[in-house]
Amino acid sequence: MKWPSFLKFRNVPKGLVTIVILTVILTFIVIIPQLHETLIRKILGLLIVVFFPGYAISYFVFPINISVIERSIVGFGLSMVITFITAIALNFTPLGISLYSLTTVLATFTIVLSLFFIWKDKLYFRSRAKKRN
């Protein structure tokens, strides 16, 4: 059985796929009301806010192969900037700054940016394959 052409991704970084899957799972875990005021919610929420958005954007900004440690450090710094700008923007909306609004916006940003990078990467490899032929 052959895979449909839109599911064929070459060289999709495993770290990026992991970030997308963890973002979806951890967002639902953080929002569950039974976990209020527990340590697990704080740790998982911290990952979503402090690490995931910047790690995803680091693939977009630096598509070249850099080490995982360098990408993690860049991701941490970019996440701080993204979270700060998102919090300022949310302050001027009717939603305000809350756990749910910040988590939802940052998770959506991470997933959309990751999917955009995968799409851009797929177009890049398709254009290179056409040039070879």
CB count, 10 Å around CB of 25?
11
Angstrom CA distances, 5 to 1, 9, 23, 39, 47, stand at 12, 9, 26, 43, 34
Does any domain span residue 2? no
pLDDT digits 0-9 by tens, 34-87 = 777 778 877 888 888 889 999 988 888 887 778 889 988 999 999 999 999 999
The whole domain housing 72 covers: 13-132
Domain count, the chain: 1
Torsion angles phi and psi, residue 130, rounded to 5: -70, -35
Report yes or no on 63 lying in a domain. Answer: yes
113-129 confidence digits (pLDDT tens): 888 888 877 766 566 55
Query: Domain for residue 5, yes or no?
Result: no
